[in-house]
Protein backbone atom coordinates (compact mmCIF):
# COMPACT_ATOMS: atom_id res chain seq x y z
CA UNK A 1 0.00 0.00 0.00
CA UNK A 2 1.53 3.30 -1.08
CA UNK A 3 0.59 6.52 0.59
CA UNK A 4 0.56 9.97 -0.90
CA UNK A 5 3.35 12.23 0.28
CA UNK A 6 2.23 14.81 2.79
CA UNK A 7 2.46 18.29 1.34
CA UNK A 8 2.93 21.15 3.78
CA UNK A 9 0.31 23.86 4.09
CA UNK A 10 2.76 26.45 2.80
CA UNK A 11 3.41 24.45 -0.38
CA UNK A 12 -0.33 23.92 -0.86
CA UNK A 13 -0.87 27.67 -0.41
CA UNK A 14 1.75 28.43 -3.08
CA UNK A 15 0.15 25.91 -5.44
CA UNK A 16 -3.24 27.49 -4.85
CA UNK A 17 -1.79 30.94 -5.51
CA UNK A 18 -0.29 29.77 -8.81
CA UNK A 19 -3.56 28.23 -9.96
CA UNK A 20 -5.53 31.31 -8.94
CA UNK A 21 -3.00 33.58 -10.69
CA UNK A 22 -3.39 31.62 -13.93
CA UNK A 23 -7.18 31.88 -13.63
CA UNK A 24 -6.97 35.60 -12.87
CA UNK A 25 -4.71 36.34 -15.85
CA UNK A 26 -7.10 34.35 -18.04
CA UNK A 27 -10.05 36.38 -16.71
CA UNK A 28 -8.21 39.67 -17.24
CA UNK A 29 -7.44 38.75 -20.84
CA UNK A 30 -10.98 37.60 -21.64
CA UNK A 31 -12.90 40.37 -19.86
CA UNK A 32 -10.42 43.29 -20.04
CA UNK A 33 -11.30 44.06 -16.42
CA UNK A 34 -8.63 46.01 -14.51
CA UNK A 35 -6.00 43.94 -12.71
CA UNK A 36 -6.79 45.43 -9.29
CA UNK A 37 -10.49 44.65 -9.75
CA UNK A 38 -9.80 41.00 -10.59
CA UNK A 39 -7.28 40.57 -7.75
CA UNK A 40 -9.80 42.06 -5.31
CA UNK A 41 -12.57 39.80 -6.66
CA UNK A 42 -10.40 36.71 -6.24
CA UNK A 43 -9.40 37.73 -2.72
CA UNK A 44 -13.03 38.32 -1.73
CA UNK A 45 -14.75 35.36 -3.39
CA UNK A 46 -12.40 32.78 -4.89
CA UNK A 47 -9.39 32.30 -2.64
CA UNK A 48 -8.86 31.98 1.07
CA UNK A 49 -5.96 31.77 3.44
CA UNK A 50 -7.95 29.27 5.51
CA UNK A 51 -6.67 25.73 5.18
CA UNK A 52 -9.61 24.12 6.95
CA UNK A 53 -12.40 25.01 4.52
CA UNK A 54 -15.16 22.52 3.90
CA UNK A 55 -16.40 21.59 0.44
CA UNK A 56 -18.27 24.86 -0.01
CA UNK A 57 -21.87 25.25 -1.06
CA UNK A 58 -24.12 22.64 -2.64
CA UNK A 59 -22.20 22.95 -5.93
CA UNK A 60 -19.04 21.87 -4.10
CA UNK A 61 -17.34 25.20 -4.76
CA UNK A 62 -15.17 26.32 -1.89
CA UNK A 63 -12.63 29.11 -2.07
CA UNK A 64 -9.21 27.88 -3.10
CA UNK A 65 -6.64 27.74 -0.29
CA UNK A 66 -3.91 30.12 -1.48
CA UNK A 67 -1.15 32.43 -0.35
CA UNK A 68 -2.83 35.78 -1.03
CA UNK A 69 0.40 37.78 -1.07
CA UNK A 70 2.06 35.48 -3.61
CA UNK A 71 -1.13 35.41 -5.70
CA UNK A 72 -1.36 39.21 -5.81
CA UNK A 73 2.32 39.60 -6.65
CA UNK A 74 2.11 37.06 -9.49
CA UNK A 75 -0.98 38.62 -11.07
CA UNK A 76 0.01 42.26 -10.72
CA UNK A 77 3.63 41.81 -11.73
CA UNK A 78 2.91 39.46 -14.64
CA UNK A 79 0.32 41.94 -15.89
CA UNK A 80 2.82 44.80 -15.65
CA UNK A 81 5.52 42.77 -17.43
CA UNK A 82 3.23 41.31 -20.11
CA UNK A 83 5.20 42.70 -23.06
CA UNK A 84 8.47 41.19 -21.79
CA UNK A 85 6.82 37.89 -20.88
CA UNK A 86 5.12 37.60 -24.26
CA UNK A 87 8.41 38.39 -26.03
CA UNK A 88 10.14 35.59 -24.10
CA UNK A 89 7.39 33.15 -25.06
CA UNK A 90 7.13 34.22 -28.71
CA UNK A 91 10.89 33.90 -29.16
CA UNK A 92 10.60 30.15 -28.37
CA UNK A 93 7.62 29.36 -30.59
CA UNK A 94 7.93 27.50 -33.86
CA UNK A 95 8.20 29.78 -36.89
CA UNK A 96 4.58 29.24 -37.96
CA UNK A 97 3.18 29.91 -34.47
CA UNK A 98 2.09 33.15 -32.86
CA UNK A 99 1.17 33.93 -29.28
CA UNK A 100 -2.45 34.36 -30.39
CA UNK A 101 -2.55 30.74 -31.62
CA UNK A 102 -1.81 29.44 -28.13
CA UNK A 103 -4.81 28.29 -26.13
CA UNK A 104 -5.75 31.15 -23.74
CA UNK A 105 -5.33 28.99 -20.63
CA UNK A 106 -1.91 27.80 -21.84
CA UNK A 107 -0.99 31.42 -22.56
CA UNK A 108 -1.93 32.41 -19.00
CA UNK A 109 0.04 29.48 -17.60
CA UNK A 110 3.10 30.43 -19.65
CA UNK A 111 2.94 34.09 -18.67
CA UNK A 112 2.68 33.29 -14.97
CA UNK A 113 5.38 30.62 -15.11
CA UNK A 114 7.81 32.78 -17.08
CA UNK A 115 7.33 35.65 -14.62
CA UNK A 116 8.11 33.28 -11.75
CA UNK A 117 11.13 31.76 -13.56
CA UNK A 118 12.61 35.18 -14.17
CA UNK A 119 11.90 36.73 -10.77
CA UNK A 120 11.81 34.10 -8.03
CA UNK A 121 15.40 32.91 -7.96
CA UNK A 122 14.88 31.21 -4.60
CA UNK A 123 12.51 28.65 -6.19
CA UNK A 124 14.20 25.88 -8.21
CA UNK A 125 13.50 25.86 -11.96
CA UNK A 126 12.30 22.25 -11.81
CA UNK A 127 9.74 23.12 -9.13
CA UNK A 128 8.34 26.03 -11.14
CA UNK A 129 8.12 24.02 -14.36
CA UNK A 130 6.53 21.04 -12.60
CA UNK A 131 3.95 23.22 -10.86
CA UNK A 132 2.80 24.91 -14.06
CA UNK A 133 2.84 21.74 -16.15
CA UNK A 134 0.59 20.21 -13.48
CA UNK A 135 -1.74 23.20 -13.68
CA UNK A 136 -2.10 23.04 -17.45
CA UNK A 137 -2.49 19.25 -17.34
CA UNK A 138 -5.43 19.69 -14.96
CA UNK A 139 -7.21 21.72 -17.66
CA UNK A 140 -6.82 19.38 -20.60
CA UNK A 141 -5.69 16.29 -22.38
CA UNK A 142 -1.95 16.53 -21.82
CA UNK A 143 -1.13 17.95 -25.24
CA UNK A 144 -0.85 21.45 -23.81
CA UNK A 145 1.19 20.11 -20.89
CA UNK A 146 3.93 18.92 -23.25
CA UNK A 147 3.83 22.21 -25.13
CA UNK A 148 4.09 24.28 -21.93
CA UNK A 149 6.88 22.06 -20.60
CA UNK A 150 8.87 22.49 -23.82
CA UNK A 151 8.53 26.28 -23.87
CA UNK A 152 9.42 26.61 -20.18
CA UNK A 153 12.44 24.33 -20.54
CA UNK A 154 13.68 26.43 -23.47
CA UNK A 155 13.22 29.67 -21.57
CA UNK A 156 14.92 28.29 -18.46
CA UNK A 157 17.90 27.05 -20.48
CA UNK A 158 18.27 29.97 -22.88
CA UNK A 159 17.84 32.76 -20.33
CA UNK A 160 20.18 31.27 -17.76
CA UNK A 161 17.43 30.94 -15.15
CA UNK A 162 19.08 27.84 -13.67
CA UNK A 163 22.57 29.33 -13.54
CA UNK A 164 21.17 32.48 -11.92
CA UNK A 165 19.84 30.30 -9.13
CA UNK A 166 23.21 28.56 -8.73
CA UNK A 167 24.87 31.95 -8.29
CA UNK A 168 22.32 32.77 -5.56
CA UNK A 169 23.30 29.67 -3.56
Domains of the chain: 7-79 (no CATH), 81-164 (1.10.940.10)
From 23-27, 29-33, 131-135, 143-147, the region with the lowest mean pLDDT? 143-147
Q: How far apart are CA 68 and CA 47, in angstroms?
A: 8
Q: How far apart are CA 68 and CA 167, in angstroms?
A: 29
Q: How far apart are CA 110 and CA 25, in angstroms?
A: 11
> Does the structure show a pLDDT above 70 at 25?
yes
Q: How far apart are CA 131 and CA 95, in angstroms?
A: 27
What is the reported pLDDT for 13? 95
**Phi/psi at 33 (5° precision):** -75, 150
Mean pLDDT of the chain: 90
**Residue range 100-112: mean pLDDT, rounded:** 96
> Does the structure show a pLDDT above 90 at 4?
no
Amino acid sequence: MTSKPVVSKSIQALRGARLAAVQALYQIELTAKPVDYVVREFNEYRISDRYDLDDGDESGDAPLFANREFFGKLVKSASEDLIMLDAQIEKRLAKDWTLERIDPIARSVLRTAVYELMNYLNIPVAVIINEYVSIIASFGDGKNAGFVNGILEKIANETGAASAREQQA
